[in-house]
Structure 1
Amino acid sequence: MGLFNGLFGNYSEVSVQELQEQYGAYLMPDEKIQTGFRLIRDTCIFTDERLILIDHQGVTGKKTRVASIHLNSIYEVTLETGGLGFDDSELTIHYIVSPYYKSNNLSTSAYKFEFGKRFNVRPVYTALVSIAHQNNKRWNG
């Protein structure tokens, strides 16, 4: 079922131990992995500080792109749950990419995750929307 989900763009959950063994070298000192998901070769890791997006490229997957979305830059999270048929759940994170969050010329971006129907995406959504809410209060309070 994991490969079937991967072929259709769905992330599946990976154990923290496995993520630590494979990607521990990408962590900052004292950073802790909370959870993570894999899409065939690509991986998304949620830590206590950031989201780490690991994209294995090329035929062999030896070339790797690692990107981070800092949790304190997330300002909006949207969720579209799966409907009937082959619909999947989509979770989109909107975040600030500018180094200064209170500048007049903010630069933003978004990242979309697709989860299969059987995956309960609501706890992930709740955690991320709580972070976005706290960020908005901190920036605007």
Structure 2
Amino acid sequence: MIDFANAAYVKLNERNPADAHADLAELLLPDERVLVAFRGIRDSVTFTTKRIVAVNVQGMTGKKKDYTSLPYSRVQAFSVETAGTFDRDTELELWFSGLGLVKLEFGAGVDVRGLSRLLAERCL
């Protein structure tokens, strides 16, 4: 399990959903689609039609990976912080039943309001 309190999910930027689908193809259910995906330096977060999949790449070679599935059904609350004039980064905070707070930080230009709509559609 990824330690989200100390996770290196800093400054996630958008990535091609098709690339994320290819990376996660063996984990996805037959009727599950990738909606939007983000990548950090090595790690990634993907929002699908059923869950959020966080991938933590480990080790020097990056061959070892931790896949954490965060089902929308376990989200108790979420919060988005938009960019400001001087602080161009955005944030998404999710509170999961049994897990606690998961905080994701995004680089400039990521539409966190769109993520908020996506979460509202899946969680409410």
SS of 2:25's partner is helix
1:19 aligned residue: 20
Matches of 2:111 and 2:41 in 1, distance apart? Answer: 19
Q: Does 1:73 align with 2:74?
A: yes
Partner of 1:9: 10
Could you list the per-position Cα deviations for residues 89-120 of structure 1 after superposition, in whole angstroms to 9, with x for gaps in the alignment?
11101111xxxxxxxxxx34121111123222
* 8 Å CA contact 2:57, 2:65 repeated in 1: yes
For 1:32, the equivalent position in structure 2 comes to: 33
Confirm or deny: 8 A CA contact 1:74 1:131 kept in the other structure: no
Aligned residue runs from structure 1 range 114-129, under 5 A = 114-129=105-120
**% identical aligned pairs:** 28
Asked if 1 retains the 8 angstrom alpha-carbon contact of 2:53 and 2:67, the reply is yes
Choose 1 or 2 for highest CA Rg.
Answer: 1
Higher RCO, 1 or 2 (CA under 8 Å, sep at least 6)? 2
- Structure 1, unaligned runs of 5 or more: 1-6, 97-106, 135-141
Contact 1:76 1:129 in 2 (8 A): no
Aligned to 2:60: 59
Q: 1:45 maps to what in 2?
A: 46
Q: Deviation of residue 82 (structure 1)?
A: 2.3
1:36-68 deviations in Å (ceiling 9; x for gaps): 111111111111111011100111111100001
What is the alpha-carbon distance in structure 2 between the residues aligned to residue 30 and residue 130 of structure 1? Answer: 17
Amino acid at match of 1:114: E
Which residue of the partner structure matches residue 110 of structure 1?
101
What RMSD, in angstroms, separates the aligned Cα atoms of the two structures? 2.0
The CA distance in 2 between the partners of 1:30 and 1:129, in whole Å, is 20
Runs of 4+ with >6 A deviation: none
Deviation at 1:85, TM superposition (A): 2.5
CA–CA distance in structure 2, aligned partners of residues 38 and 60 of structure 1: 18
**Counterpart of 1:123 in structure 2: which amino acid?**
G
How many residues are treated as equivalent by the alignment? 117
Equivalents in 2 of 1:8, 1:51: separation in Å? 14
